Structure 1
Amino acid sequence: FITPVRVLRGWLTLCSDYGSAEIMDANHKRFALIVISLRKARGFVGIDIDWEYPADSTQASNMIVMLKEVRSQLDAYAAQHAPGYHFILSIAAPAGEVNYSVLRLADVGQVLDYVNLMAYDYAGSWSNASGHDANLYANPQNPNATPFNTDDAVKAYIKGGVPANKIVLGMPIYG
């Protein structure tokens, strides 16, 4: 059984002011309403948002404001059109410390149903050294081959306040 969840994704850091307070204040309610219209039109049971990546504490705070607004709109829609139903809200979450250390993890854990940890693409053409694509642990004998690892990321999310039962491990099942 496959549950349809709409994924909204993008590499938003390419737009340098996307996460600014002015842009977010003006648009987070509008974005939430667009999410609801997608839900109505397509029948999705939830929304997964892929914001790669909040660059600083201001953008991380604005991300939480936006997620809370989406949650509020999903709940209001459910109350009116599907009483008792809970629409899923999740994010695609970074596994690299430089990115997840910026996030407000306790708030992420509170507002979301799931955190889909992107536990893949740890190495590639952008890397300075050959490495593993999705290693579970760091390799102390060859740290350049494992600059990221899933174990450290999961532990950091839990320590930061994300309940373990909300963490979903993304895997590289592409060829």
Structure 2
Amino acid sequence: MFTMAMAMAYSKKYPFVISLVLLVLHFHASSAAMKGGYWFREIRIPSANAAQFSTFTQTVQQKNPSVKTLLSIGGGASNPSTFSSMASQASSRKTFIDSSIQVARSNNFHGIDVDWEYPSSLSDMSNYGILLREWRSALVSEARTSGKAALFLAAAVFYSSSYHSLPYDVQALSESLDWLNVMAYDFYGPLWYPNRTAPPAALYAVNHSAANQVSGDIGIRAWIGSGMAANKLVLGLPFYGYAWRLLNVNNNGLFAPANGSAFAGDGSIGYNGIRAFISQNRAPCVYNSSAVSNYCYSGTTWIGYDDVQSISTKVTYAKTNKLCGHFVWHVGADYNWVLSQTPYQTWG
């Protein structure tokens, strides 16, 4: 399974190419948000993007009628406390669930994807499991009443089965979700790992220190070890990287001394921006086969990212380990659709 995400906020800056849907099974439209009072959280699509959401399924099915679409809810920019408050009460969970189904159906989506980043207490984790069980029950009931195929239910989850030592309710997730999108990226970034360069989405751990080992493979193995079936796990592939500021331009490898971000904000940069940086600066590019990650550098700027070779290797990993598939975040950050075509070409 190959899933792509399209962030509607980027759709004008990075025009959507309809032919890409020939390469995927599922397409996500991101993101709907919760609105309302503290307890009663209803799903609403941003008014600025309402027209795009309402025609999303029709648009992507023009060249591939079999592609399925999902409405994504939440995301990294959403406030996790809104999820926490909603999930803590039966009444607000029902309002949230019912409105999500109504919005998905009225906009002709085939499923729903939830992205709570992240449940941050034991009660959050417990309530998340309850929410998903109730959601699944509501989807089954709605399908029976409407006579339509039940909506898919998927979730974007932390790279590992525990978030800061707080375990997900794996049984609830396994029984309630059709698949899990494992966010195997953002391991390192200049805001939270400012003193050394690092591979932001390493498939394998190559940390200079034995402490704090983190990688996509470690996360996938943790999920499987906790009881999640491999064929429910979808490996996340980022179409962006992070830029550090080198302390010494002559020391420019992995885990080189650094001083925070080379750019404003969190230092993130889309693959299209990375390709422009490489071209404008004639920046040397290096593929690290141990981490399965790429980096480039020029002057004091060092960027860790995924390119065609690392994306292809990760897709092969997903296929070899019999995972459900792979997803990307997000297609709007690609450069001439180079990365978008790689998973399809690799998986076969």
TM over 0.5: yes
Aligned length: 171
Cα deviation, residue 18, structure 1: 4.8
Q: Is 1:87 aligned with 2:151? A: yes
Paired amino acid for 2:230: A
TM-superposed deviation, 1:173: 2.2
Larger radius of gyration: 2
Amino acid at match of 1:76: S
Match of 1:68 among 133, 147, 153: 133
1:159 to 225, 244, 263: 225
Q: Aligned partner of 1:92: which letter?
A: A
Bigger drift between 34-43 and 20-29 goes to: 20-29
Q: Are 2:101 and 1:36 equivalent residues in the alignment? A: yes
- Secondary structure of the equivalent of 1:115? strand
Is this contact kept in 2: 1:94–1:100, CA < 8 A?
no
TM-score (norm 2): 0.45
Distance across 1 between alignment mates of 2:87 and 2:145: 31
Which ranges in structure 1 are unaligned for 5 or more consecutive residues? none
- Distance in 2 (CA, whole Å) between partners of 1:79 and 1:22 is 25
AA aligned to 1:12 is: N
Quote the Cα distance in structure 2 between the aligned partners of 1:23 and 1:64.
Answer: 11
Q: Which amino acid is the alignment partner of residue 110 of structure 1?
A: E
TM-aligned CA deviation for residue 72 of structure 1: 1.4
In 2 relative to 1, CA 123–145 (structure 1 residues): closer, same or farther, beyond 3 Å?
farther
Q: CA deviation at 1:92?
A: 0.4
Q: Which amino acid aligns with 2:185?
A: Y
Q: Normalising to structure 1: TM-score of the pair? A: 0.85
Cα separation, 1, equivalents of 2:142 and 2:184: 32
SS in 1 for 2:228: coil
Distance 1:48 1:67 in 2: 11
Q: 166, 182, 185: which one pairs with 1:120? A: 185
Question: Can you list the C-alpha shifts for 1:98-130, whole angstroms capped at 9, x where unaligned?
Answer: 617421122211211101000112222222332
Bigger strand share: 2
Percent of residue pairs bearing the same amino acid type: 29
Q: In 2, Cα distance between the equivalents of 1:22 and 1:104? A: 14
RMSD: 2.5
SS in 2 for 1:4: strand
SS in 2 for 1:7: strand
Could you tell me whether the CA contact under 8 Å between 2:187 and 2:200 is conserved in 1? yes
Distance 2:151 2:162 in 1: 30
> For 2:68, what is the secondary structure of its paired residue?
coil
Task: Point out the structure with the larger helix share.
Answer: 1
Question: What are the within-5 Å matches in structure 2 for residues 19-34 of structure 1?
Answer: 19=84, 23-34=88-99
Q: Which AA in structure 1 matches 2:129?
A: I
The answer to whether the Cα contact below 8 Å between 2:87 and 2:124 also exists between their aligned partners in 1 is no
- TM superposition shift of 1:12: 3.5
Relative contact order, higher structure (CA 8 A, sep 6+): 1
SS in 2 for 1:34: helix
Contact 1:138 1:146 in 2 (8 A): no
**Alignment partners' CA distance in 2, 1:37 and 1:87:** 11
Mark the CA change 1:115 to 1:121 in structure 2 (over 3 Å): closer, same or farther.
same
